[in-house]
Structure 1
Amino acid sequence: MCTLRISEPDGHIDHLMAAFNLTPSGPSTFILMGIPDLEAAHVWISIPFAMFYIIGLLGNFMVLFVVGNEKTLHKPMYLLLCMLALTDIGMSTCVMPKTLLIFWFNIKDIIVDGCLTQMFFFQAISIMHSGILVTMAFDRYVAICNPLRYTTILTNARIAKLGLVGLIRAVLFMLPPPLLLSRQPFCNDRIIPHTYCDHMAVAKMSCGDITVNRMYGLVLAFVVIGSDLTLIALSYGLIIRALLRISSKKAHQKAFSTCTAHIFVILMSYPPGLFSILTHRFSQGIAPHVHIIMANLYFVTPPMLNPIVYGVYTKELRDKVGKYMCRM
């Protein structure tokens, strides 16, 4: 993505800032531009994003409420669903409130520390989200391939421990980028052509050498996402191998219905995330506004659709939600 660099005299800088409806910011402030070339349409663009965000919050809070209040749902699978709902809420909330402030009220300033904090949290939560999807794949493998040992292999306590491991992994992996950037000297033109503090968008504001940041982000993305996708593929490979040994069509249909929701969630989560990561580094030929809109959709579309998908494909959860909806 191209980064706006201002090298004109002070009078020209003031003219540019006036054109963009900006106010001069202090030395410890960045300015998030929103979506370049579509500033006039910010209010209209905000409508679907706000709707998706609100629907996602309502859906995920409903999952948390229903599972928390129904003792029959206090099982590993639904504990994982609650973890997924929490990461969905956290991921969208890290980004959307500030984005909507930009769209609605033109509040574009963000302090450097706030920018780095936002970067850390949404990236760490994304790593946690990926780890939960891996655990869910393992859960489906045990449920289909070792159903008699399911309750002994996957207990609520073990799922909680796996969630804690995922949290520690996310924190350890995502602390270095903001710490490295906090030591970088930033140029005078601190205008970020984005709606949130993406790692590479902020790194490009630096006047120093960002080779370490660039390489760390790329290697980390492929190591974490690559290893997680490999483990998911391995789980489903073992599931398919087990199903090929069974001739019962009913067993095949049951296994397929058990895995369908998880497969949909994987397809909604990984491709948009990879697209956002790669376009910041290899963005030639992709219009900046296309990349930014797709990056923002990554933060609202999966959180909105995940509870719907699991509500549709998980009968027990669907019935419990229906019971609470009928009481309203």
Structure 2
Amino acid sequence: MSTALLHHADCLGHVTPYGHPEQVARLEYVSRALSTDEFAPLVRVEAPLGEDAHLLLAHPQAYVTAIRNAAPADETISLDPDTHMSPGSLNAALRAVGANVKAVDMVLDGEVGNAFCATRPPGHHAEKQTPMGFCLFGNAVIAARHALRAHGLSRAAIIDFDVHHGNGTQDLVWDDADILFASSHQSPLYPGSGKPEEQGAHGQIVNVPLPPNSDGTLFRKSYERIVFPAVEAHKPEIIIISAGFDAHRDDPLANLNLIEEDFAWATREICRLADGLCGGRVVSTLEGGYDLDALASSAAAHVRTLMEAAK
């Protein structure tokens, strides 16, 4: 089996103000890293536009309408101090949604073994009715719910190793007994959520806060002792990864000390779990990562490991 890489040039059209960390160059660096001969076997797919029916898997119609109406025609606007929309942002966000939906379809239809969505803007901070933290739509949740509702699965898991807590994902799945959400993240740090006692309506949310300056040793132990047993107990039929690489030691927005091999290890172990639980079915979607070189090398390590797992 192969690994699919879903992307679209529209995702470069999401332009943020000068100096903003969630910049066009992030995707340019990732794309360049994945363009070498090593990654030639990837099945490269242009992401379709997500549809309103997909957005409504995570957000109410009023929110979808508000985001569409907010899209500017000729300038960049601020939805909050961190979150912006330019004339190309709506299409970029719809491509990110469409990539995740298409990736789920390809994996569950047996076209590929697993998939990575190299898209932006990210999604794990977008709450039901609130854009925030650079995010407009809950990409990972849309992927999980599409798997459940369009493909008839009973259980899904979302694993988020971005350095920031996925408050949006947590908000969206709080009442979903069929979706396990497990997040490791630095604490204290934006957005301030993600305490262990935040467990969801059915105990299906697992938060693993890591203190500043934690390294790969604590990260790995936390997954082995807490995250992986919870995933195994849930018995998901697909695993969605919110793949943020801002826990890297070089990232300017946080203070964890992971390196590329830590992300590769996490990916390898998640794929191992997926092999035993759900036929290796994994869909990964890009979240954070703001040191451009660290982002590129970490994303390459992640995709390289997905490719090895799909063989």
Relative to the length of structure 1, the TM-score reads 0.27
Give the number of the structure with larger relative contact order, counting CA–CA contacts within 8 Å between residues 6 or more apart.
Answer: 1
TM-score (norm 2): 0.28
Structure number with higher helix proportion: 1
Larger radius of gyration: 1
